[in-house]
Amino acid sequence: MRLLHRLNPGAAPLAERPATVAPVTLAKLTGDRATIAKGQPVGWSPDLARVLSLPRRDLAASYGRADFATLEASLRAPPGTPCVCGTLGKRCPSSLLPIQRLALLEAARTGGGLFPIGVGHGKTLIDLLLPLAMPGCKVAVLLLPSNLRPQLLDVDWQFYGGHWCLPNLAGGRWFRPGLPVLHVITYEKFSTQEGTDLLTRVRPDLIICDEAHKLKDRKSARTGRFLRYLEQHPQTRLVAQSGTLATRTVKDYAHLAEYALRDGSPLPLKHHVVEEWASALDPGLVAAPPGELLKLVDPSHPLAPLEGENEAERERRRVRDAYRRWRNATPGVVATDESAVGMSLTIRTRDPGKVPDELLAHIQTALGGQRPDGEEFVDELQRVVCARQLASGFFHRWRYPAIQGTPQDPELILRWFSRRQEFNRELRERLKRPAEHLDSPGLLVRAAIRAHQSPPYDGDLPTWRAHSWPAWGEIHKRVVHVTEAVWLSDFIVNDAAKWALRKGQPGIVWMEFPELGERIAKAAGVPFYGGGPEASATIIRESGKRSIVASLRAHGTGKNLTMFSRMLFVNPPADGAAWEQAIGRCHRQGQLADDVEVELYQHTAELVGAFQKACDFARFIEQTEGTPQKLCFAHYDGAGHETSPQTQ
Ligand SMILES: [Zn+2]
C-alpha cells in the first residue's frame, strides 16, 4: 500500500485515452501472417491491460514556472559559496537545463525514474542532485562506468558545487549534517568479487544508475546482484538513466523499468510477457505480428508512409512508434528527442577481389564444427568467431609451448583439457543459481576451494561442493597454453593496406582482432592503435594526414576522431549500437568534410549476415527510442545497397 502510494502520489492522469483504439486492421494482418512471420501475434494479458490503464501525462504541460523556481531555490548553494567556473573557463550556470528540471521533479513525484536521456543533455547534474530532490533520501548510491568517475569527482563536483547544493560524498572530507550521503560506485567495482555484497553493506534508499545499459544483461553477475538486491529490498527507489537503454531488444531494460516504476512500468512485469512483446518489437527476420499490442497505437499520430516499405514493415514501424510514445507519456519516464548531424553519410561495400578457394573450404568446415587444424568446437560462438577470422585469412588456436626447453606431456594436456571441460560444465550449471559470494566464476572457484580444503573451512562465507573440482583443482596449474594466430592468406591484409594508402584520402581501418590490426598496419606502414591508456592518449593527437589502423573495441566509442572522414570496417560488427558509435567518431559535430564515407567487407555469408543484423538492430533503436540511427539514414552506394535498412 505504501509502495503504491509512493509510486503515484497525486499524479492525476492529465489526458486519459480510451483503451481501445482505432479499428485496427487485424484481419488484414492475420490474413497475411505467412508473409510476416511464423510467430503468434501478441495476445491479451493482465500485464498489457495494466499498461493500457496507466495514466497518460504530457510532460511539457505537467510543471510550470513556479515549480521550476521552487525546485531551483531549494537546490541552490548558499550565497557566498566559492565557485571554480573561472579556472575551468566556464560561464557560471544560472539555472538548470529544462530536461534536468523535469527529470528531478518527475523523479520526486514518482519516487523513481526511467530516463532515456541522450549524451550531452546534462545527466551528470541530475545524478548529483537526485539525492536532494528525492523526498526523504538519506543514503544514495550512484553507479557509473569507471571512465566517467574521474571527470565526476575531480571536475564536475567542484564545478557544480559552486552553484548547487550537493550531497555529502561518502568518504569525502566534509560532512554537513542533514544532507544525504552519496556513494559513488563504478560498475567495474560492482562486478568484481568484492562487489558481491556492496549494496547490502551500504543499504541505500535511492540507487541512481547512469549509463544504465551497463545493467542490460540479466545473466551477468553484475545485473544479477543488482536485481537480487532490489528484489530483497523493495522499498529502494531506483532511477535509471541512459542515452541507449535498448540496443537489441526491449528485454534490455524491462527489468530496470520494473524496479524504477514498479506497477507503473510501461513494460510488462512478467517475464513471459516481456518475451512476447519482444517477439513483435525486436529486430529479427522472424517477427511476431503485433496483435493486441496495436492497442497502444494513438490514432491522432498517423505514420507517414515510407518509400519501398511493405505492409508488414509498416505495421512494425507503427507498433514501435506507438510503443515509444506510450512509454514516454508514462509518469516517471523523461526522454529527450535527438537531432541528427547535418553532413551526409555514404556506406558502400568494398570488394577485396577473389576469395581464395582454400579459405572458403575452411570456413565451411569451421561452420560444421571443426577448426582447420582439426580441433573440435564446443559451442556456436567459437564456430562463428573462427569463420569471421577465416574471412580475414587467419584463425586462432591454442598452443602448449615447451617450458624451459622441455615439451609439455601430451597425455597430461589431454587429461587437463577434459577435466577443464568437465569443471566448466558444472560451473555453468551452478552459475544459473547465483547468490552473494557465488555469482561469478572466480567466486565459485573460491567457494569450491573452501568446500574441499582441509582442515575444513569454518568461516562465514558460503562453500560449493563441486564434484569436478578436486580433479581439476589438482591439475589446472600444471599445463600452460597460449593463443596464436595461424595465417592462411594475406588477401585481406593486402587489400586493407591498399585502402589505407589511397593517395590524399587517409582514413581509419577498424578491426576486431589485434593480430590482424598489427599485420595490416605493418603492410601499410601506418600506426596501429590497440588497447591501453597510451594508445587512447595518442590516437586523439593524430593529424588526419595519414591513415591509421584501430581496434574497434578500444577506440570505437567516446573519442573525437573528426580529423578523419573515411573508414573501412574489416570485421563488420553485428551490433547496431557498435556501428552507431564507431561511425559517430567521425560523423559528428566538428567534422569539416561534407560527406563521411564508410566501406565494409561483405565477401562471405557471415559478413553479410552480420551487417544485416546490425541494420535490423539500428532500425529497432530508431523506431523504439526515437533516436535517428546512422545505419538507417545513410546513403547506400553501389553494392552495399541490397543490405541497406531501407530496402529490407
Ligand atoms: Zn560559477
Tell me the pLDDT tens digit for each residue of 132-167: 999 999 999 999 988 778 778 888 898 899 999 999
Q: Read off the pLDDT of each residue in 67-78 and give the average, rounded to a whole number.
A: 95
Cα 173 → chain centroid: 35
Provide the percentage of residues in the chain whose pLDDT is more than 70. Answer: 90
Q: Do the domain assignments include residue 520?
A: yes
Q: Do the domain assignments include residue 322?
A: no
The answer on pLDDT for 592 being more than 50 is yes
Looking at residue 143, the DSSP 8-state letter turns out to be E
Residue 338: per-residue pLDDT = 60
117 neighbors 241 (Cβ within 8 angstroms): yes
Cα(85) to ligand 1 centroid in Å equals: 4
User: Is 354 buried (19+), middle (13-18) or exposed (0-12) by CB count in 10 A?
Assistant: exposed
Cα(575) to ligand 1 centroid in Å equals: 41
The answer on pLDDT for 118 being more than 80 is no
The answer on pLDDT for 646 being more than 50 is no
- Exposure pattern of 220-239 as b/e (b: 16+ CB <10 Å)? bbbbbbbbbbbeeeeebbbb
The answer to whether residues 350 and 208 belong to one domain is no
Q: What is the CATH number of the domain that holds 86?
A: 3.40.50.300
Residue 332: per-residue pLDDT = 97
Q: CA-CA distance, 607 to 620, in Å (whole number)?
A: 20
Return all residues near 204 (Cβ < 8 A) that are at least 6 apart.
139, 140, 141, 183, 236
Cα(179) to ligand 1 centroid in Å equals: 22
Q: Read off the pLDDT of each residue in 570-583 and give the average, rounded to a whole number.
A: 92
Please measure the distance between the N-terminal and C-terminal CA atoms of the chain and give it in whole angstroms: 49
Q: Do the domain assignments include residue 216?
A: yes
Name residue 604's amino acid: T
Q: Which residue has the cell 501478441?
A: 42
Residue 1: per-residue pLDDT = 36
Cα(164) to ligand 1 centroid in Å equals: 10
Residue 341: per-residue pLDDT = 65
The answer to whether residues 471 and 494 belong to one domain is no
Q: Do the domain assignments include residue 173?
A: yes
Give the domain range for residue 179: 48-282
The answer to whether residues 135 and 216 belong to one domain is yes
The answer to whether residues 152 and 176 belong to one domain is yes
Residue 592 CB neighbours (<10 A): 9
The answer to whether residues 108 and 216 belong to one domain is yes
The answer on pLDDT for 539 being more than 50 is yes
The answer on pLDDT for 7 being more than 80 is no
Cα(132) to ligand 1 centroid in Å equals: 20
Residue 359: pLDDT band (50, 70, 90) is very high
Across-strand partners of 399? 482
Residue 286: pLDDT band (50, 70, 90) is low
Instruction: Determine if residue 132 is left, alpha or beta; phi over 0 gives left, psi from -120 to 50 gives alpha, anything else beta.
Output: alpha
Cα(351) to ligand 1 centroid in Å equals: 55
Residue 350: per-residue pLDDT = 96
Q: CA-CA distance, 288 to 18, in Å (whole number)?
A: 25
Cα(64) to ligand 1 centroid in Å equals: 26
Please write the tens of the pLDDT for every residue from 458-475. 988 999 999 999 999 999
Cα(82) to ligand 1 centroid in Å equals: 8
Residues whose beta carbons lie less than 5 angstroms from ion ligand 1: 83, 85, 92, 162
Q: Read off the pLDDT of each residue in 339-358 and give the average, rounded to a whole number.
A: 86
Cα(432) to ligand 1 centroid in Å equals: 51
Q: Do the domain assignments include residue 369?
A: no
Cα(306) to ligand 1 centroid in Å equals: 48
User: Is 152 buried (19+), middle (13-18) or exposed (0-12) by CB count in 10 A?
Assistant: middle
Cα(88) to ligand 1 centroid in Å equals: 9
Last residue of a domain, one of 267, 282, 297: 282
Looking at the structure of the chain, the number of domains it has is 3
Cα(72) to ligand 1 centroid in Å equals: 15
The answer to whether residues 465 and 613 belong to one domain is no
Cα(162) to ligand 1 centroid in Å equals: 6
Q: Read off the pLDDT of each residue in 170-192 and give the average, rounded to a whole number.
A: 91
The answer on pLDDT for 395 being more than 50 is yes
Cα(131) to ligand 1 centroid in Å equals: 22
Q: CA-CA distance, 587 to 593, in Å (whole number)?
A: 9
The answer to whether residues 469 and 564 belong to one domain is no
The answer on pLDDT for 3 being more than 80 is no
Cα(138) to ligand 1 centroid in Å equals: 27
Residue 638: pLDDT band (50, 70, 90) is low
Q: Read off the pLDDT of each residue in 182-188 and give the average, rounded to a whole number.
A: 94
Residue 4: per-residue pLDDT = 37
Mean pLDDT of the chain: 86
Residue 577: pLDDT band (50, 70, 90) is confident
Q: Read off the pLDDT of each residue in 233-237 and give the average, rounded to a whole number.
A: 96
Least confident of 11-15, 73-77, 171-175, 337-341: 11-15
The answer on pLDDT for 12 being more than 60 is no
The answer to whether residues 467 and 568 belong to one domain is no
582 neighbors 567 (Cβ within 8 angstroms): yes
Q: Read off the pLDDT of each residue in 631-636 and give the average, rounded to a whole number.
A: 90
Least confident of 236-240, 418-422, 556-560, 566-570: 556-560
Last residue of a domain, one of 282, 302, 333: 282
Sheet of 113-115, strand order: 113-115, 237-241, 206-209, 139-144, 181-186, 168-169
The answer on pLDDT for 27 being more than 70 is no
* pTM reported for the whole predicted model: 0.71
Please write the tens of the pLDDT for every residue from 608-632. 999 999 999 999 988 888 878 899 8
Residue 30: per-residue pLDDT = 33
Name residue 283's amino acid: P
The answer to whether residues 104 and 60 belong to one domain is yes
Residue 386: per-residue pLDDT = 93
Residue 21: per-residue pLDDT = 30
Q: CA-CA distance, 642 to 648, in Å (whole number)?
A: 8
Q: Convert 401-439 into a string of H (helix), E (strand) and C (coil).
A: CCECCECCCHHHHHHHHHHHHHHHHHHHHHCCCCCCCCC
Residue 377: per-residue pLDDT = 74
Q: CA-CA distance, 240 to 117, in Å (whole number)?
A: 10
243 neighbors 584 (Cβ within 8 angstroms): no
The answer to whether residues 471 and 551 belong to one domain is no
Last residue of a domain, one of 436, 460, 480: 480
572 neighbors 607 (Cβ within 8 angstroms): yes
Cα(156) to ligand 1 centroid in Å equals: 12
The answer to whether residues 469 and 516 belong to one domain is no
Return all residues near 161 (Cβ < 8 A) that are at least 6 apart.
77, 81
Q: Do the domain assignments include residue 299?
A: no
Cα(160) to ligand 1 centroid in Å equals: 8
Residue 643: per-residue pLDDT = 46
Cα(81) to ligand 1 centroid in Å equals: 9
The answer to whether residues 234 and 88 belong to one domain is yes
Least confident of 233-242, 286-295, 565-574, 583-592: 583-592
Residue 149: per-residue pLDDT = 83
Cα(75) to ligand 1 centroid in Å equals: 15
